[in-house]
Amino acid sequence: MKMISDSCRWILVLVFLSVVALGQAAPAAEEWQSWSRISLEGPLCDLWRISLDEEFRSQVGGDGLFFHRSDAGVNYRAASWVRLGAYYWHDYHRKGDAWMEERRLHGHTTLRWTLWTLPMRHRSRFEWRFPDGASSHWRYRDMIRIGLPPGWLPFGMSGYFGNELFIDLRDGSYHQNRMDIGFTARVKGRFHIDFYFMLRSDRVSSDSSWRHTPLFGQKLKFVF
């Protein structure tokens, strides 16, 4: 077991260094971003939970706030290892000097299990998007997240790294990827604070190259 734990440490160190190196290799024109979220979650009954989420994204040293979204929905615990969710998303995002609006309906299936001592999570998500000035369309998002073994970090914190890919179902194109690494700390039982580093990669349609955007994220979650 110790050999597995030591191997996990080296793998996580290599993943972290790789993500940071990719962030440093991003084009100089790309501004660092800051993503901040506030989330509330609580029970409706034994198997159902409700959640509300607010997110703000801004450019560090750039033009400031460029994105705000609200997200609300419910999720159902079908089994100890699977949850089903349905949500409504509404965002405002800046495009040039104008603010655009988008609405979404999205649902997901989340699977949880343990591999050796590593908490594993896989989420399959379908989005029906209604953007301003464009026709509605479907998108698929696939996320895998690997947690650190319990007790690996001090002060009761838990760490993770993960990757999420985005596929436009109109043409099946793989157009975005998000790689992240972070940790979660619980404060006074009901409050959870999440800090992470992410490298967001977007395919540039003109020449099929990728544009990389490094960012830091913070999330405050209150569970009641």
- Tell me whether strands 33-43 and 209-223 are parallel, antiparallel or unpaired: parallel
Q: Report pTM.
A: 0.86
Q: How many domains does the chain have?
A: 1
Supply the mean pLDDT for the chain. 87
| Comparison of pLDDT for 27 and 91, the residue scoring more | 91
Domain that holds residue 191: 2-223
Q: Is 198 exposed, middle or buried (CB count within 10 Å of its CB: 0-12, 13-18, 19+)?
A: buried
Instruction: Check which CATH number belongs to the domain holding 168 and give it.
Output: 2.40.160.40
Beta carbons of 221 and 189 less than 8 angstroms apart:
no
Judge contact between 178 and 21, C-beta under 8 A: no
Cα–Cα distances (Å) from 191 to 43, 50, 56, 223, in that order, read 16, 16, 19, 7
In the numeric block, which tokens belong to residue 159? Answer: 């760490």
CA angle at 198 for the pair 192 and 203, rounded to the nearest 5°: 140
In eight-state DSSP terms, residue 202 is E
pLDDT 10s digits, 77-113: 999 999 999 999 999 999 888 999 999 999 999 999 9
pLDDT of residue 219 exceeding 70: yes
List alpha helices for the chain, DSSP H.
2-24
